[in-house]
Structure formats: structure tokens, C-alpha cells
């Protein structure tokens, strides 16, 4: 089988390249999947780049998610021919992942491909889109409705942000999309954003812990100072769903918005997310994410493209969703 393999030499230098790999080297699992498509996430950029990021054992096959067809199964829940999706569970980090033509994983990590989606469409959504939908569901579960006002999406032109913008717009929300790329304004408006907000307007914290009540909710894919700033701009009782950390892991925030406005900060985890919650999110993706908008987000790629794309995503230079045809 062909796979993107990351290797580390004695000097500690890493190199990623496409190789022929025997299936005998696959890790032991319950289910072997013939992979159709994978996708590129920020974590994949870390794992394919210099130093190997989150990887612990070498050689390694990255790819935190994939979609394909069950080839062999030792678990009664899945049979050969079943279409499945995997995302999370630290696959692609500490377990060989989806940047290969075959994957062998634990059955507990899989989700059946929902009716109405192809494996390619599922990877156009991918872990990024699943995270975005989990964030939307969490905001709704905490009281968000369209009539309450504008919803902010940070990192809007990235994978999580793009899906969040398209989904929220489809559900009838007024979406304000944050971007540092003026050239992305047309793209974001096509996805359904009512307006764009320059990244510079929110990039730094201010001394005042509370600003004007502006946002009815927020899907935040950035973290850091931007998230801290947004917390002080949320309306009374509103929530921000934290999905990413491209802006850093530190949160230089005050407790004042929580105490005086009763705001909520909701953590979104797509790695160890329970099965039932995943299925709920995938069902909502089928019903609430406009597929025609999804296609506009997609940039196709092959295994050989991934080292360069991994570097690009770490620099914030990837717009939308990269869909990897592992058999091309």
C-alpha cells in the first residue's frame, strides 16, 4: 500500500515522503479499512512538519481522519463493505492514520457513514467540520437562537470556521466572520457571512474587562488574546465555543464577564467525543450543512502534496478544506 511516512533520523531531523509499505506494518486493530479519502488538519501539519510535532514513535503515518470501506472486521458492528468514518482518538498522532491506502483501527473509534454523504463529502467535512458542528450544537444547547443577534466566527476562512459560517447561515443566523485576509471576503460572503470583521479589530486584549454587548454567541477557532477579547463582548448569558488554539494556548482573560454577564465558555473536544454525540453531529451535518457550499470549500490533494500543505496550514495559508485522495 502507498502511505505518507514520516521518519526521524539519528540527528532528530524528520522527513515526510510517500512510500510503499507492507500491510504487515499496520498496527493491530479490530477493523481494516480501505481508505478512500483523508483530509488535512492543523494537527497533521504538526505531525508532518519539522520535529514531528505530536508523534511519539517512528516511522509514522499521520492523518487524523479518514473515510472508506471496511475490508476486514473482527467486530460484529461492522462488516466488509460497510462505509465508515474515523476522526479523533489520537489516530494520526500515536496510531497510524489516514494518509495511507489502508488503515487498521479499533471498532470503537469508527462511525457509520451517514446516509446522504459520500466518503469524499465526509472528508470535506472531516474533523474540522465535525468540530464546527459540535460547537454549533453546544451553543444551541446553551440557548442560542437566531433572533438573539449576531454570531461571531473567528478564524472564519479556515476549516472549522468555513463549516461554522456555512452551517450557521443555513440555520438562519446573522454571521460575522473574522478574517485577516481581505481577499477572503468574497469567499466568506459566498458561504453565507452577513459581514466580515478584520482580525486586527480583535487581535489584542484591552484593559476594560467588559465592552459593548455585541455577540449572541461565538465559534472560536483561534483562542489566545482574541478569545479573551470576545468574552468581554458577549451579550448577557451568551456563550463562546472554544474549538482551536491557532492564536496560542494562553487565555489572558478576566473573570468579570463570567460574574457580571453570566457568559459561558464551552470547550469543544472532537478527539475523545463519545459515540452518541458524534452520531448526533454527523446527522446534523447531513441536515444542516449546505452541500453546495461544502464543495466550494474543497481543494483536492494527493499524498505527495501533503508535506508542503502541512507547512502551509501551520502558517495560516490554507483556505477551506483540503480533501486528500489517497489512491490518486
CATH code reported for the domain at 127-267: 3.40.50.720
CB of 128 closer than 8 Å to CB of 319: no
pLDDT at 220: 98
> What is the Cα–Cα distance from 263 to 236, expressed in whole angstroms?
6
Closest CA to 140 of 177, 188, 172: 172
Predicted local confidence at residue 134, as pLDDT = 98
226, 204 Cβ separation under 8 angstroms: no
Neighbours of 54 (CB within 10 A): 16
**248-261: buried (b, 16+ CB within 10 Å) or exposed (e) per residue?**
eeebebbeebeeeb
> What pLDDT, on a 0 to 100 scale, did the predictor assign at position 291?
87
Helix (H) or strand (E) holding 287: helix 275-288
Question: Which CATH architecture best describes the domain 2-113+292-325?
Answer: Alpha-Beta Complex (3.90)
Grid coordinates given for 226: 482574541
pLDDT of residue 77: 97
Q: Count other C-beta atoms under 10 Å from residue 227's C-beta.
A: 25
Q: What was the pLDDT predicted at 40?
A: 95
What local confidence, expressed as pLDDT, does residue 72 receive? Answer: 97
Cβ atoms of residues 160 and 313 within 8 Å: no
Strand-pair category, 83-87 with 110-112: antiparallel
Q: What is the pLDDT of residue 204?
A: 84
Query: Hey, where are the domains in the chain?
Result: 2-113+292-325, 127-267
Which residues, including other chains, have CB under 8 Å from residue 244's CB and lie 6 or more apart?
42, 131, 155, 158, 160, 220, 221, 222, 223
Place of cell 470503537: 108
Q: Tell me how crowded residue 51 is: count the other CB atoms within 10 A of its CB.
A: 12
Query: Sign of the C-alpha dihedral, residues 314, 323, 241, 273?
Result: negative
Spatial contact of 256 and 85, defined as CB atoms under 8 Å apart: no
Mean pLDDT by 10 residues, the chain (328 residues): 94 91 96 98 89 85 97 98 97 96 98 96 96 98 98 95 96 97 94 97 91 98 96 98 93 96 98 96 96 90 96 91 97
Distance CA 252, CA 247 (A): 12
Residue with cell 499496520: 26
How far out from the chain centre does Cα 125 lie? 8
Distance between CA atoms of 121 and 37, rounded to whole angstroms? 9
CB 82 within 8 A of CB 112: yes
Question: Using the 8-state DSSP alphabet, how is residue 10 labeled?
Answer: T
Cα 241 to the center of its chain, rounded Å: 13
Amino acid at each position: 500500500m502507498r502511505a505518507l511516512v514520516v521518519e526521524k533520523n539519528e540527528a532528530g531531523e524528520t522527513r515526510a515522503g510517500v512510500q510503499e509499505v507492507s500491510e504487515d506494518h499496520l498496527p493491530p486493530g479490530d477493523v481494516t479499512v480501505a481508505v478512500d479519502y483523508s483530509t488535512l488538519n492543523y494537527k497533521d501539519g504538526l505531525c508532518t512538519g519539522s520535529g514531528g510535532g505530536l508523534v511519539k514513535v517512528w516511522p509514522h503515518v499521520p492523518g487524523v481522519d479518514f473515510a472508506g470501506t471496511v475490508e476486514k472486521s473482527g467486530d460484529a458492528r461492522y462488516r466488509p463493505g460497510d462505509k465508515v468514518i474515523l476522526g479523533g482518538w489520537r489516530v494520526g498522532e500515536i496510531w497510524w492514520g489516514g494518509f495511507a491506502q489502508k488503515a487498521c483501527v479499533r471498532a470503537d473509534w469508527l462511525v457509520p457513514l451517514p446516509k446522504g454523504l459520500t466518503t469524499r463529502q465526509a472528508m470535506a467535512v472531516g474533523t474540522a467540520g465535525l468540530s464546527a458542528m459540535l460547537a454549533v450544537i453546544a451553543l444551541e444547547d446553551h440557548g442560542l437562537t437566531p433572533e438573539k443577534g449576531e454570531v461571531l466566527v473567528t478564524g472564519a476562512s479556515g476549516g472549522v470556521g468555513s463549516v461554522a459560517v456555512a452551517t450557521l447561515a443555513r440555520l438562519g443566523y446573522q454571521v460575522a466572520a473574522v478574517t485577516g485576509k481581505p481577499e477572503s471576503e468574497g469567499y466568506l460572503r459566498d458561504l453565507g457571512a452577513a459581514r466580515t470583521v478584520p482580525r486586527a479589530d480583535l487581535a489584542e486584549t484591552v484593559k476594560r474587562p467588559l465592552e459593548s454587548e455585541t455577540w449572541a454567541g461565538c465559534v472560536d477557532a483561534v483562542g489566545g488574546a482574541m478569545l479573551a477579547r470576545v468574552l468581554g463582548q458577549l451579550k448577557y448569558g451568551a456563550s463562546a465555543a472554544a474549538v482551536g488554539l491557532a492564536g496560542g494556548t494562553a487565555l489572558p482573560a478576566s473573570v468579570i464577564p463570567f460574574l457580571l454577564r453570566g457568559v459561558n465558555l464551552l470547550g469543544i473536544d472532537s478527539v475523545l467525543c463519545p459515540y452518541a454525540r458524534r452520531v448526533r453531529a454527523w446527522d446534523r451535518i447531513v441536515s444542516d450543512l449546505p452541500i453546495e457550499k461544502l464543495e466550494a470549500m474543497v481543494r483536492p490533494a494527493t499524498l505527495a502534496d501533503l508535506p508542503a500543505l502541512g507547512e502551509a496550514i501551520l502558517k495560516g495559508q490554507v483556505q477551506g478544506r483540503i480533501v486528500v485522495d489517497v489512491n490518486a
